Structures are given as structure tokens and as C-alpha cells.
Amino acid sequence: MKDGKIAVAIYARLSVDRDGKKVGIDTQLQDSRRLVKERGWVVADEYVDRNLTAADKLVARPEYDRLVRDYHAGRFSGLVCWDLDRLTRQPRQLEDWIDAAESARSLSVVTANGEADLTTDGGRLYARLKVAVAKGETERASARQKRSKQARRETGKWHGGIPPYGYSARNGELLPASAEVSRIKEAAKRLLDDREPMHSIVTDWNNKGVRTRSGKHWRQANLRSILLNRSMLGETKAGVVGWDPIIDARTFDRLTALLSDPSRKVVHSPGVKGGKHSMGGRLSVCAKCGKPLVTNTKTNANGPTLGCLARVHGPDARNHPRVKREVTRKGEKVVVEQDTGRVTIGHDRLERYVFDVVTKALSQSDRWQTRMGESDPADDAKIDALEAERAALRDEKDRVKRAFIAGIIETEREALAEFERIDAALDAIEGQINGLLGRPVIANALADGVDWQTWTPGRRRAFLKLLLDAVIVDSWPEGMPRTRPRFRNESAEDYAVAREASMNEATARRVRIVTKWGVTI
């Protein structure tokens, strides 16, 4: 309530409007405001997402996410949108709003075009039918687009989308981009002729201020994927030549042999292969620069660490200014430039702390206690089966890799086709697991007492991502000693307990946990 009136939120969204036939943002807002005024309500806030689809659940809608957080924070008791398909095209999301309308808070959800009102049973039936039809239309359109793109590939035509590095798109055709072509040829020469490590190349480019197409710093994974892309030979993904090559076949084959050598270490982007550790995968971030902490298993004998790594994120003069320091290398004192403010923390200690704080907060929340009855016991069995299937697929991928090295699979194209098939199956399983790891996981965890240490890292992270926006890690607390000396006559057991308490206090002081509802715990 606001001044005795119902406070409502207005949501508007517009994806790409190529033909100018869609209802614009301004019209949506005007009609929604008119409805609010006619009903005697008052606008609490307006939420607008531009150029974002609601059909793909993997596409983040920042304003929609803020709308959800503000509802859970109790900042409005009514929701107005121009049409339901502006709010969502996902049946699961619609059911969440229907739950809100039927809850004790009785959220009023109405549309400005007058076609739906979730406060009535007829309105809820219409809404479910409309969103189901919209979802079906989206899936059929996606199938048509995929088939069209495949047909273009098979006839040697550019299928659309973002042009591969080294090319620009003009009138539906790919043409060489001179600056990017020069960069590719420079990298090829330095790798093949000068035998220079890839790490040295990307470090040199970053230090010179050379940036990727998107304006970010270079990483080895970026450059490697560019140099292994067959589009440089003028080929579509179907293997048909359709545009001018920017590199000759012999050079490409040499690059492929070099970069596909099993003895080379492949450096993945942070989070891409981060399934071994629950606090990785962009869940934990640096308090100084906001970038994700990356798992490092080699620098700490006590277990893996998470760190804001310069070699991954690149130089950052504003948040991590460089200073000159004297260090000892090979027994000699040398002066080097080093970043400041780079955050490092033990992974396992951070994991224990976060789970302790989160589970305590959940156990004290009346909201989740009332939702515990919604859990489905069958979900755990499905998740276990899917995880077993995922493990089998990963083993199969390793076998394919060994078969290619041994020459059983003769061509690279055959091996890549197998990798793509397995990766597609892994992505589908990951999506199913994420779909099952929703409210039931939280409900079951609370009912049984959260025995998170028996879960796989993937399940731990999924559980935390359902509840948290970020785990923000700052530097070691200023003025707090990093070690706790052992006092005279203090037993080893008492010393271990006191040292653990000291480390836990430091962790609590340097870690902030931000929930999906914008609350810091």
C-alpha cells in the first residue's frame, strides 16, 4: 500500500522489431499507466527490458529479474503489463506468477489490453493457454530458422549471425576484414615460424592495448578457437566452400596439428570447465573489480584456491594498479611490476562458510518452511540418473579423443562431429538437471537437514545459484594477523580450535553473500 492505495509495478518489454509491427515500449507504458489510473492504483516502479526475448530461458532479462526480487521484497502488490507475452513466454515462469496471485499476498496481475487477469480462474486458464501457444510458436519458428541456416550452409552460403573473426558481413556475404586478417596471420607466423608460445602472444597484445572485436582483453582460449575455425578456409559448417579464404590450407593444417597436440595444455575460460568446484563458475566474484574468481588447484597445499587472476582477466589499472616490488628469483633480488588488490581465498573454507550462512538463513525463513510440501521425491532419482548419464557421456568423449589420437578415427572432421554430438547431449542433460534443481531441492534439503557435503559439486553450485546472485570476496581484513601463534602450554587440539576460529572470523569479515532478493547476508 502507498498513501492508502495499492502499489503496482509496470513491466514492458520489446524484442527486436524488424518490421515495425510490434507494440512499442512507449505505447505499452502509456496503456499500462492509463489502466493503473483508472483502477485508482499508484505506480511503485516501472521495469523495461529492451531488445530481449522472453522465449529463451537462458537469456537474462535484468529488469525482469529486478521485478522478481522487488516482489519478494514486498515492494508492490499488483503487476500490470500490456500483454502476457510481454511478461513471459515460459510456462514455468507463468506458474510462478499464478502462485503469487493465489498466495496469501494475493498479487494482482492484469494486462492493459484487457485479455488476461490472473485474479480470476478464467483469466488463469486463458493465460496458461496463451503462454503454451506462444511457446509452441517459438519452438516452431526456431526449427524453421535452424533448417534454413542448415540449407544455406549446405549450399555454401553464409548462414547469418555474428561473422567469424577475420570477416565482416555485407549484403549477406562474408568479406575479409583487413585488420583482423592481419592479426590472424601475425599469430600464425609467431606460432609456426617463430615457435612463440600462445601465452606470450596474447600477453604482448594485451600490453600493447590490442583488444578483441568486443573490446575485451585477449585470452589463449579466444585465440585458439579463432585459429581452429575452418571458416578461415572459406568453408561453411557443412564443409562447403562459399567465400574467399583468408589463410591457405597448409598453414591451417599446421596450426591444427600444433594446437590439437594432446601434449599441449588447453586453457579454458573461467567457468567453462569449472564443474569440479562449487564456488567457481562465476558464482564468486572479486570485491575490487567484480570479475569472477577462478579456481586454482596448484598454489595451495591445503586445497584449491579461488583468485582474481591477472592472466585470465587481463590488466586493470583502475581496480588493480601495478606497483614495483623487489622479489627473489633464482636466488637474486629483482624488481618487478605486480598488480595490487588481487583477491585469493581457500575454496573449501569459503564453501563451508557460505553453506553454513545460507542454510541457517533458509531454516529461519517462514516462506520456505511453508513451501516444503511442494517437493517431489521422484526428482532426486531423476537427477541421480541424469548425472550417471552425464558421467557416461564424459567417459565416451574421452574414448573418442583416445581413438582419434590412436588413428582409429581417421579424420579430424569425424572426431569433431562426435565431439559435437556428445557436447549437445551433455548440454541437454545439464538443462534437465538445472530444471529439476529448483524449489524441490531446497525443500528436501530443509526437510532432511542440508547434507551438502554428500552432493556433487554441480549440485552444490546449482543449489547456491537458485538462491544467490553473488558471493563477493574482499581482501584480508586490514589489521588482522594472517597467522595465530601457538601459546606456551597450549595443547595441539586447543591451538587447532583457536586457529580455526580465527580463520572463520576473517572469512566472515571479508565475504558478502548477496541473495536473489537483493539482501546481503
**Mean pLDDT, range 166-170, rounded to an integer:** 88
Asked if the model's pLDDT at residue 300 lies above 70, the reply is no
**What average pLDDT is seen over the chain?**
79
DSSP 13: E
CB distance 135 to 91 below 8 Å: yes
Q: What share of the chain is helix, strand, coil (3-state, %, to 5)?
A: 50, 15, 35
pLDDT digits (tens, 9 = 90+) for 34-66: 999 998 999 999 999 988 877 676 778 889 999
Out of 233-242, 255-264, 273-282, 468-477, the most confident range is: 468-477
DSSP 262: T
Which of 331, 425, 429, 437 lies closest to 375 in space, CA to CA? 437
Model confidence band, residue 101 (pLDDT cutoffs 50, 70, 90)? confident
Asked if the model's pLDDT at residue 70 lies above 60, the reply is yes
DSSP 452: G
Q: Which comes out higher in pLDDT, residue 324 or 369? A: 324
CB distance 279 to 345 below 8 Å: no
pLDDT digits (tens, 9 = 90+) for 449-460: 567 787 767 667
pLDDT digits (tens, 9 = 90+) for 6-39: 899 999 988 765 544 556 888 899 999 999 999 8
Q: Which comes out higher in pLDDT, residue 154 or 95? A: 95
pTM over 0.85: no
Domains along the chain with CATH numbers? 7-139 (3.40.50.1390), 167-259 (3.90.1750.20), 309-342 (no CATH), 346-515 (no CATH)
